[in-house]
Amino acid sequence: MGSWAKEQVTAENIKKNPGIKVYSYMDTENPGIISLVDGYKKGSLTDIESITEYAKRISCELAVITTASPLSKGLVDKLEHEGIAAFGPCKEASKLESNKAYARNLMKKHNIDGLPEFVSFQSKDKAVKYAEEMNWQVAVKPAGLTEGLGVKVAGEQLSGRKEIINYIEEILSDKKGCSSTAVIEEKIQGEEFVIQSFVNDLTVIPVRAVQDFKKLLPGDRGPNTASMGSYSTKNRLLPFLSKEDYEKGVDIIKNTVRAFRKETGKLCRGILYGQFMLTDRGVKLIEYNFRPGDPEWMNTVSVLNQNIAEIITDIMKNKTPVITMQPHATVCKYIVPEGYPQKLYQKLDIEIPEEEIRNSGVDIYYSCGRSDSGRLIPGSERGVAFIAKDETVPLACKKVDSAISKVKGNFFYRKDIGTEKMIRKKSTLKKHYGGKN
């Protein structure tokens, strides 16, 4: 279930087993997904009745839910009630993503490390007073789902007291995230990274760390986007991330899953995405997503040796599969319409020589639909992702840049992601954060 690049790469991986038939339910007719699957249906991703009926009609044996909106509506509970195996969190567990206040309060109650100072509010006056007490050095978040575009930080997206107050008002008036609760927390600074894990109850199987780049412009400037790209190295770590800090992130995930089990008596199951920041005070959790990240999932799956469906089947039989990866670094970059993200629902007028690019060792994944005339329509999403793997991050970066240079039309992308200069700079940060250089 889902319409974007992370669903395309998932379908592509599963289809490598010719004995598995793959069907898709999407709200946008993604050309990349359609070219892979044995059948599909277009419909609302929040219409869990329609999704369930389609699953029954195709005699679905395993549903893999990789997008947030149906999870928060209780799709897994519904499918399981109908006797269909589903890999994803139940409605209660999906609140770790869909309700930021819930996740924060759970961690606070169970004394889990890595939690920034925070308070959740439904009152404007109390929220503003707290922000003032923090000397306006805060991050302001809607408690609900916002497609990765809801968090705003003082000094970045929010310039001064007035803009902070206005954004608090916007959240509390229910215009952001379908939730009239604002989460306000201390502003933290450092290097962000992501750890994604296959989770089944108290079993957590983490994969490589990935760093993604949400700022639109080179040098991490400009407005936030859903992400302009990402990279991973050929081991589990990143240039600035020590083994100890990686393991600290994994421990935070494990402790959260354990706390959820203790609190609710229910199990967590699915792909749990932890977004962290390495700070002068150690590893801090920014947020959880209870589904794969886009583009981080592409970095992971592109070097995954196993079939995702087979991994999930083992997990759901309470086995612990061994997950191995190819010894390659990866770089992913998105090309987006000019004017993104301030302007959404644009057309992306480009020509992609797909066969030539794929033959050069670069894969292409779509986070967009296609109009009747053949033009790409990203809608509220981004555009087209290009990903390559090689011995080092800079070498993979060069492959991606070469591929993008062959695309004709008007678009924008971040050239600095994965360059030699960027990786050198990231490497110098390890000593700053206390790791071995």
What per-residue string of b and e applies to 288-307 under the rule 16 or more CB within 10 Å gives b? bbbbbbbbbbbbbbbbbeee
Q: Distance (Å, rounded) from C-alpha 326 to C-alpha 393?
A: 14
DSSP per residue, 301-370: HTTB-S-HHHHHHHHHTT------B-S-EEEEEEEB-TTTTTS-S--B-EE--HHHHHHTTEEEEE-SEE
Q: What is the mean pLDDT of residues 107-125?
A: 94
Q: Which of 52-56, 128-132, 361-365 has the lowest mean pLDDT?
A: 128-132
Greater model confidence, 381 or 57: 57
Q: What is the mean pLDDT of residues 55-80?
A: 97
CATH fold match for the domains 5-95 and 117-186: no
User: What number of residues does the chain have?
Assistant: 437
The confidence score (pLDDT) of residue 256 equals 98
What is the chain's mean pLDDT, rounded?
94
Place of tokens 């990349």: 32
Check whether 194 has a pLDDT greater than 70. Answer: yes
The confidence score (pLDDT) of residue 178 equals 53
The confidence score (pLDDT) of residue 346 equals 92
Q: Distance (Å, rounded) from C-alpha 69 to C-alpha 105?
A: 22
Check whether 435 has a pLDDT greater than 90. Answer: no
Check whether 113 has a pLDDT greater than 50. Answer: yes
Q: Distance (Å, rounded) from C-alpha 48 to C-alpha 55?
A: 10
The DSSP 8-state label assigned to residue 282 in this structure reads E
The confidence score (pLDDT) of residue 437 equals 41
Please state the pTM of the whole predicted model: 0.94
The confidence score (pLDDT) of residue 326 equals 98
Q: What is the mean pLDDT of residues 124-142?
A: 92
Check whether 330 has a pLDDT greater than 50. Answer: yes
Level-2 CATH architecture, domain 5-95: 3-Layer(aba) Sandwich (3.40)
Pairing between strand 62-64 and 85-87? Answer: parallel
- Which band of pLDDT confidence, cut at 50, 70 and 90, is reported for residue 159? confident
Place of tokens 């296959």: 198
The confidence score (pLDDT) of residue 261 equals 98
Q: What Cα–Cα distance (Å) separates residue 361 from each residue in 191, 324, 330, 336, 354?
A: 30, 21, 12, 21, 11
Pairing between strand 191-200 and 269-279? Answer: antiparallel
- Which band of pLDDT confidence, cut at 50, 70 and 90, is reported for residue 93? very high
Q: What Cα–Cα distance (Å) separates residue 367 from each residue in 47, 290, 372?
A: 21, 19, 17
pLDDT in tens, 338-394: 999 999 999 999 999 999 999 999 999 999 999 888 899 998 889 999 999 999 999
% residues pLDDT > 90 (the chain): 87
Q: What is the mean pLDDT of residues 108-117?
A: 95
Q: What is the mean pLDDT of residues 82-110?
A: 95
pLDDT in tens, 256-305: 999 999 999 999 999 999 999 999 999 999 999 999 999 999 999 999 99
Q: Distance (Å, rounded) from C-alpha 126 to C-alpha 149?
A: 24
Q: What is the mean pLDDT of residues 314-330?
A: 96
Q: Which of 80-94, 137-151, 287-301, 336-350 has the lowest mean pLDDT?
A: 137-151
- Burial (Cβ within 10 Å: 0-12, 13-18, ≥19) of residue 110: middle
The confidence score (pLDDT) of residue 135 equals 93
- Which band of pLDDT confidence, cut at 50, 70 and 90, is reported for residue 180? confident
Superfamily of domain 117-186: ATP-grasp fold, A domain (3.30.1490.20)
Q: Distance (Å, rounded) from C-alpha 347 to C-alpha 378?
A: 7
pLDDT in tens, 208-235: 999 999 999 999 999 889 999 999 999 9
% residues pLDDT > 70 (the chain): 97
303 alpha carbon, distance to own chain's centre:
17
pLDDT in tens, 246-257: 999 999 999 999
Check whether 310 has a pLDDT greater than 70. Answer: yes
- Which band of pLDDT confidence, cut at 50, 70 and 90, is reported for residue 431? confident
CATH number of 191-428: 3.30.470.20
Check whether 74 has a pLDDT greater than 80. Answer: yes
What ranges do the domains of the chain cover?
5-95, 117-186, 191-428
Q: Distance (Å, rounded) from C-alpha 150 to C-alpha 166?
A: 14
